Every structure is written in structure tokens, then in C-alpha cells.
């Protein structure tokens, strides 16, 4: 079919070109016969050559068409504007940077707020190194509508003593003042603060008498807070510290986040995630 089309195209092309050429005066009769034979031979030769060229062009075209058929066409996809995704949403992933508790736990946050709870132990060196980052975040990086709470872990008897020390300082109204100092006393000065005598001597530096300390230490409020924090830590399914629990739902830490600085970024991400509805 391609050869027939090429021949037809050649004949049409020759016919078209011949119509545009000026006609020569009629030759003599004797010359007509010889010239007719000669012209017919020449025209036939020219036609054959042009047909061959057209056939070659047609063959090339057919080959190109065959190649186009063998190459699958890429589907034409309409450009659809995708909603922009914050970089943080692409960067932090569940199971890698944080985990989700099977059941969300109650928090102290009011409606519209998100709670960030730091679970720690005063004797933990990792908690000690994290503390300056937490304090800086509380001053300059905490998101709006976010409340921060600290929960001392009491996973064993030695930890329970320090958890009770935390709530005693809170009951005395000295927590903000002595909290970083307790970390330094244990981790830098190597004073374990694991006996009442050591603790009384330490609090005396902050104008707290032995009697005031003892009353707070034995108070019902401290005992109640201690039992409550112990139950919270168990519900969080924690086996170590430091750990951060966002709105009673998401658990992360410096080990998951990749460092103390990165942990603060993950915390902010989880806060925003919770504000969006999780």
C-alpha cells in the first residue's frame, strides 16, 4: 500500500510540476517520432528514479512509524496542584522518630491546649544533659497553646526517692529554684541526695529549715503526687528516661529523635500534628 501510495504521489507530483512548465512550440513531424521515443525513455527513466526515491522515503516513513508504535507513549497527566506539605511532616515518621501509644492517656491540658510531659530521673546523666535544651525551649521555643509538665519517674526504689524529692520541692514552692541545682548536685558534685540528711543539708542552702522540709516530705500532697506519677509512667509504658510524651499520645526521646536539639524539633512537630487533629 505504501508503494502504491508512493507511485501515485510521484505521478501526481510529476503531473503538477508539468502543468506549471511553459509548453514548447510543436515540433516537426519527423522530429516528433524520434523525440517522442527519446522523451518517453527519458521521462520513464526520470519517473523511475523519482519513484525509487519516493519509495525510499516511504520506507523510511514506515520504519519511523513502526518505531513509534513500539515505544509506549507516556500518559498525558493533567497538572494538578498538590497542597503544600510542611517539611516537618515529611521528615519525622512514626516508628522512627516517635511512637504512638495504643490508648491515649489523660492529660492536664485544657481544651484547645496540648500537653508536653517530660519524664526524667535526677540521677540520669542523659536527663541532665537534656535539661538546658528543655529550659531554652520553654523560654523561646515552646509553641502557643502548649503546657509543659515534668514527671519524675519512679521505676525503682532509688528513683522513687528522687521523685519524692521533686514533689517536696514543689510543695515548698522552691521547684523552679532548686530543680537545676539538684541535677548539678547529683551529676556534677557527685552528691547522690539519697538520704534525708543529705537532702535536708542541701535544702538549707535555699533557706528551707529541716522542719519545713520534713513536713513537706511527709505531706499527703507529696504522697498523692508520687502515686499519681508512678501510675502515669506505667501507663506511658516507659522503660527508661529521658522521655517526652505529647498529649498523652506520642512518645519520643533524644535517642529516637537523633539528639537533644532534634528532640525539640520532633516535640514541636508532634504538637502541631496534634493541633491538626493527629
> Is it the case that residue 12 has pLDDT exceeding 80?
no
- Residue 88 burial by Cβ neighbours in a 10 Å radius (0-12, 13-18, 19+): middle
Is 119 strand, coil or helix?
A: strand
Domains defined along the chain, listed by start: 2-70 (no CATH), 94-275 (3.40.30.10)
* Burial category of 126 from C-beta neighbours within 10 Å (exposed 0-12, middle 13-18, buried 19 and up): middle
**Residue that wins the pLDDT comparison between 126 and 70:** 126
What pTM did the predictor assign? 0.68
**CA dist., res. 94 & res. 114, Å (int):** 19
**For residue 34, is pLDDT > 70?**
no
CA dihedral 169→175→180→185, nearest 10 degrees, is -20
pLDDT (0 to 100) of residue 89 = 52
Bridge partner list, 152: 120
Range with the poorest average pLDDT among 37-46, 89-98, 143-152, 228-237: 37-46
Above 50 in pLDDT, residue 210?
Answer: yes
Query: Is 78's pLDDT higher than 90?
Result: no
Amino acid at each position: 500500500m505504501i508503494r502504491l501510495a508512493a507511485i501515485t504521489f510521484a505521478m501526481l507530483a510529476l503531473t503538477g510540476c508539468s502543468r506549471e512548465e511553459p509548453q514548447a512550440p510543436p515540433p516537426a513531424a519527423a522530429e516528433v517520432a524520434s523525440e517522442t521515443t527519446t522523451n518517453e525513455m527519458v521521462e520513464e527513466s526520470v519517473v523511475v528514479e523519482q519513484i525509487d526515491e519516493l519509495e525510499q522515503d516511504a520506507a523510511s516513513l514506515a520504519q519511523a512509524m513502526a518505531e513509534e508504535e513500539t515505544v509506549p507513549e507516556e500518559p498525558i497527566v493533567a497538572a494538578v496542584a498538590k497542597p503544600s506539605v510542611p517539611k516537618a511532616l515529611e521528615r519525622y515518621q512514626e516508628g522512627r522518630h516517635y511512637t504512638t501509644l495504643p490508648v491515649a492517656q489523660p492529660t492536664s491540658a485544657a481544651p484547645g491546649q496540648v500537653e508536653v510531659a517530660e519524664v526524667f530521673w535526677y540521677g540520669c546523666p542523659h536527663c541532665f544533659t537534656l535539661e538546658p535544651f528543655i529550659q531554652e525551649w520553654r523560654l523561646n521555643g515552646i509553641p502557643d497553646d502548649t503546657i509543659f509538665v515534668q514527671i519524675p519517674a519512679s521505676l525503682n526504689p532509688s528513683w522513687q526517692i528522687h521523685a519524692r524529692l521533686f514533689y517536696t520541692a514543689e510543695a515548698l514552692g522552691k521547684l523552679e529554684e532548686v530543680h537545676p541545682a539538684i541535677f548539678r548536685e547529683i551529676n556534677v558534685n557527685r552528691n547522690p541526695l539519697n538520704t534525708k540528711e543529705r537532702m535536708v543539708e542541701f535544702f538549707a542552702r535555699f533557706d528551707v529549715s529541716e522542719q519545713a522540709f520534713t513536713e513537706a516530705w511527709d505531706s499527703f500532697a507529696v504522697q498523692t503526687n508520687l502515686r499519681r506519677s508512678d501510675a502515669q509512667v506505667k501507663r506511658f509504658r516507659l522503660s527508661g528516661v529521658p522521655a517526652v510524651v505529647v498529649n498523652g499520645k506520642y512518645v519520643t526521646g533524644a535517642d529516637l529523635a537523633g539528639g537533644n536539639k532534634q528532640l525539640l524539633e520532633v516535640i514541636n512537630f508532634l504538637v502541631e500534628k496534634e493541633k491538626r487533629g493527629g
